[in-house]
Structures are given as C-alpha cells and as structure tokens.
Amino acid sequence: MDFSQPPVENYANPKTCFFHVLFKAAALAFYILSALFFDSFVIIFVVTVLLAALDFWVVKNVSGRILVGLRWWNEINDLGESVWKFECLDQDSLARMNKKDSWLFWWTLYLSAVAWIVLGIFSLIRFQADYLLVVGVCLTLNIANIIGFTKCRKDSAGDNRYSPNSLVRNGNREGQIQNREMLQCIFLLSDSGEVMLEKQLTGHRVDRSICDWFWDHAISQGDSFKSQPVIASPTHYLFQVVREGITFLACTQVEMPPLMAIEFLCRVADVLSDYLGGLNEDVIKDNFVIVYELLDEMIDNGFPLTTEPNILREMIAPPNIVSKVLSVVTGTSSNVSDTLPGATGSCVPWRAADTKYANNEVYVDLVEQMDAVINRDGVLVKCEIYGEVQVNSHLSGLPDLTLSFANPSILDDVRFHPCVRFRPWESNQILSFVPPDGEFKLMSYRVKKLKSTPIYVKPQLTSDAGTCRVNVLVGIRNDPGKTIDSITVQFQLPPCILSADLTSNHGTVNILSNKICSWSIGRIPKDKAPSLSGTLVLETESERLHVFPTFRVGFRIMGVALSGLQIDKLDLRTVPNRLYKGFRALTRAGEFEVRS
C-alpha cells in the first residue's frame, strides 16, 4: 500500500469511513478539551476510555473487515487453549478493495497512535501520572489494532484467508452469494439409464431431458465417462457418483464448489446403503418413500443440512418388517419421528446425549486395500495401500477416547471423521475423539511406495499361426504370516479371440458372456503352485496377438495390515465399570494389475 498520496477514486463505503474516523477524533478531542469543562478526573477517564473502546470495537469488527478485508480475534479451541486468529481476504478480493478506503484506514490507524504518544509525552513532562494512565489505556487499545491488522496483512500471502461472502456487509449481497452456490436437482439412475428417483431442490425445475443427454454421453464414451465427476452440459453443470450400478446425479445451472456436491452425493450413497442394507435398483424402488424422506432431511433448498447418520436414524426409522406391516395395516408410510432427535441435546451432533448400554464395547478394525501395477517385465511400477480405521462403538454416555499408533509416521493423505480433534493429531499424531454410536469410519489414509506384494502372477502369452498359447503361474512372494485366501485372477479376452480352451491345476476357470476369463483359486496349496494354461484361437485375419490383456488380481488376508501400521493402545478418559476392547486387521486387493 502506497501511503504517499491518496488515490483519486471515490470512497466505496463513506458511512464506514465516517465512523472509523469519528470515535478516534472524539476520544482525542474530549481528552484535550475536557479540562476546559470538567474538573473531575473520573469523568475525563471514563468518557475518554469509553470513546477509545468504541473506536477499538468499530475498527476491529467493522471497518477493518469492510475497508481492508482483514479480521483478527481470539477463541478457545477444543482443548481449552486460547488461540489467536489472523485472516484476510483472498488475493483477488484484496485487489478489488477500494484504494481510497484502504488509504484512509491505515493513515488514521497510525496517526491516532502517534497522537496518543505525543499526548503521553506531554503528560510525562508535566508529571501528570493520572492523565498518563488515560493515555496508556487508549494507546494500548490503538496499538492492539495496529498489531492485529499488520499481522493479518503480513499473512495475506499465506493460507489464512476467508471468503468474501463471510463478510457481513449487507443481507442482500449475502443472499445473492448463497443463491449462486446450491444444487437444483438430484436424480438416481439405474444401470440401464432409467430415472428411478427425482428430487427437485429449488423453485427452478430441472427437466428430465438432462438425464437423456447424460446417458447418451455415458454410452458413447464408455467406462471412461464414469471417472469424470464433473460434466458440463449445454445447460447445466452435472456431478456424478456411481455406486453398485446406481448413478447419483446432481444438477445446477451456476458454478459452485464441485467438492461440496461430490462429497454430498457420496454421503447420500453411504447413508442409503447403510439404511437399506445395500444399493441396487430393487431396493431403491421398494423403499422409495424412505429415500425421499432422507433426502428431505439431508438437503434444504439446495444446501446440505443434516448428513450425520446418527441424527438421521433418530429422525427417520430405518425400514424393517414391522414398519412395513404397520404401513400396510394403518395405511401410513411415513417413518419420520414426531420428536426431535436426542443428538440435538448433545454437545456433539453425531452422538445422542443419553446413550446407555449394559455392556460397554468398542472394536477397532484396520481395513486396507492394496493397489499395485506390475509391468510386463515383472517390475513393480506402483504399490500403495489405501486404508481405513473402522470403529464399532457401543459405549454409554459421552466417552472420550484416545487411539495411538506404534508407527504413525508412515501415514499419508489422512482424512478424519468430524469427531476427531485436529490439535492432538498435529502435535502428537494421536487420535482424540468422542465417537458416534455404532459403526463409523474414524479415518482413512494411504501408505505409499511399498516395495513388494504378498503374491506374484506371472503371465506368458506366445502367439503364432492364428493361435495364442497362455500360461499363468501364481504363487506366494512374501509370506505375511497369515493365510492368503479368496485369490482370483481375471482378464479380458481381446476382441480378435474366437474361442478359448483354458484349464487349471487348481481352482475353477470360467469364461463369462462378456469375454472375461475368471480364475478362482481360493487358497494356494502347499504342495503345488497354481497354474492356468490353454490355447486361444484368433480370427482368420490375425496371425498374431497384437493386444495383450491386463490381469486383475484379487486376494484377502485376515489378521494382517500389509502397510505395517500397528495400533499401540486405545484409552478412555472416563472408563466404564466393564469395558471390552478388540482389534482386527484385514487386507484385500484393490486395483491390482499385472500387465502381459
């Protein structure tokens, strides 16, 4: 900011500028002229300090935010610690701030401090200790604002920024910003493109023809289309999440944060899967009313509202045989509760306040998924673990748990449930949380750059004279110490293959209608290595195989976390009379590919 001369543009916020200067001038003027009208030091002290305090409040909470886009405050975090916060607008918003407003703000902020320093020097020279006290209080308030806003300005190049729509400038602008960032409609599509459910969220109705456009593009682009979470159509922005063949499609006509829409659709899919015991076309249609009731509670006027499963279960009863019989007998189909959920009276929104159990239990599962890519030379190109810490909690009251790992430094890309406190993890890599009731995902993580895989798959394909000889060998590379079971190998037969004759010395081999060869091995026997061999017959025009398949491998290992992550201990601050704790681990194959 150049303070040498004021900008030539007009003031954008003249009223705010007026009050920004008013209380500074009033405090200084009253202090200087009060001796002419009052003999009481108490009156001079109280009125001067009151005016200085009003100036402090106006600068800190009003003019600082509006004129220069800066704010600072103090708050108490979850651990009871006092924390100072310094924030500024993003760089684009700062660049749009009125230069004359900013010039006035900084000049008057520093000049008022200089004026109080000069008055303090006069009081010191005249040995007026009582008036020096008044100057000291006023100068302290002024310097506090200088330090706070200077700190905010220095942090403007960092990450301590806030969105301009959080500024309370006027209700109309805030409402306009909110209306720009909302979903307008949600569709649920089957794997054949049928619209199973349509939920209009705002006054603007989205026509179903957008689903026809979406499905036509999905068919024309194939599987690659499903990996695109955001699609721009001629009339709408579309967000898609695919779960178990069900496409969750959200629409809006204006730009909005895509992560908010995608995360909300993922939460809808998780809640429906939890409520209905799975996701498929028949389940959605059989529980049509409950799906609508859940969407009514989860989103309001296009904005996500209640997405915590614990609260939703108290608001809408999950479907069961008894409720279905009652709906037939009474003729009513609503599962919505007539009372507020118990979690509304709790200090944490994900847990009811009066939860009670005869037996207090908590179980922690490490569920990991190995993603690996092995090239045709047998070299491990990529190997990493995606893991989740899943907790099943049945504890009375409001338990406060602490979970620690023996080797947390190996974890990358961690994501937490909202119940996790960030400060203990950032300082000591300890998970401190008040758990929801029942099953939930506490955190997810990745462990990257692993050096080996538990099993190996060695494919060999040689083609000549219109045939291709296939030989695939499977075995244990690194023994994890536990049984490796549910081993499967699948590969897509190239389009040029007319027929296939494949056999194995262990397990079963099936060729599906979509030309996918599936080899189910189960467990690897100790006396022999499983192998698959056979011949593929090529089309008459093809002498050799030009497109080699990719082998997808599946397996499961109970009792082992291949990442090496180990749980150290699980502590409860308020321990019940009898507490049962349990730990398990499971690793399975994810995107495990072997190229031939």
Q: Are 495 and 549 in contact (CB under 8 A)?
A: no
- Most confident region among 90-94, 217-221, 222-226, 314-318 by mean pLDDT: 217-221
Alpha helices in 529-570 (DSSP H): none
For the domain spanning 182-345, the CATH number is: 3.30.450.60
Answer whether residue 353 shows pLDDT above 80: no
Q: At what angle do helices 129-154 and 99-125 cross, to 10 degrees?
A: 150
Q: How far is CA 259 from CA 249, 300, 374, in A?
A: 14, 18, 32
For residue 302, give the nearest of 335, 345, 259, 256 by alpha carbon: 256
Domain map of the chain by residue range? 14-174, 182-345, 360-450+562-595, 455-558
Nearest-5° angle of CA 331, CA 337, CA 338? 95
Residue 83 sits at φ, ψ, to 5 deg, of -125, 130
Neighbours of 255 (CB within 10 A): 9
Span 283-300, pLDDT tens digits: 888 888 889 889 988 898
Indicate the class that CATH gives domain 455-558: mainly beta
How many angstroms separate the first and last alpha carbons of the chain? 62
Query: What is the spatial distance between Cα 547 and Cα 492, in angstroms, rounded to a whole number?
Result: 11
Give the count of alpha carbons within 13 A of 444, CB side only.
Answer: 6
DSSP state of 49: H
Token pair, residue 10, equals 């007009």
The candidate with the shortest Cα–Cα distance to 416, out of 448, 389, 398, 394, is 389
215 neighbors 193 (Cβ within 8 angstroms)? yes
Output the CA angle 423-424-430, nearest 5 degrees: 145
Q: What are 108-118's pLDDT values in tens digits? A: 888 988 998 98
With cut-offs at 50, 70 and 90, classify the pLDDT of residue 176. very low
Q: What is the mean pLDDT of the chain?
A: 83
pLDDT of the residue at 346:
56
Q: Got the DSSP string for 178-245?
A: HHHS---EEEEE-TTS-EEEEEE-SSSPPPTHHHHHHHHHHHHHGGGGGG-SEEE-SS-EEEEEEETT
Average pLDDT over residues 241-262: 90
| pLDDT of 159 | 45
Residues 532-548, mean pLDDT to the nearest whole number: 82
Q: Are residues 389 and 415 in contact, defined by beta-carbon separation less than 8 angstroms?
A: no
Superfamily of domain 360-450+562-595: Mu homology domain, subdomain B (2.60.40.1170)
Q: Where are the alpha helices (DSSP H) in 232-389?
A: 258-276, 281-286, 288-298, 309-315, 321-330
Q: Is a pLDDT exceeding 80 seen at residue 248?
A: yes
Query: So what's the pLDDT on residue 321?
Result: 52
Do domains 360-450+562-595 and 455-558 share one topology? The answer is yes
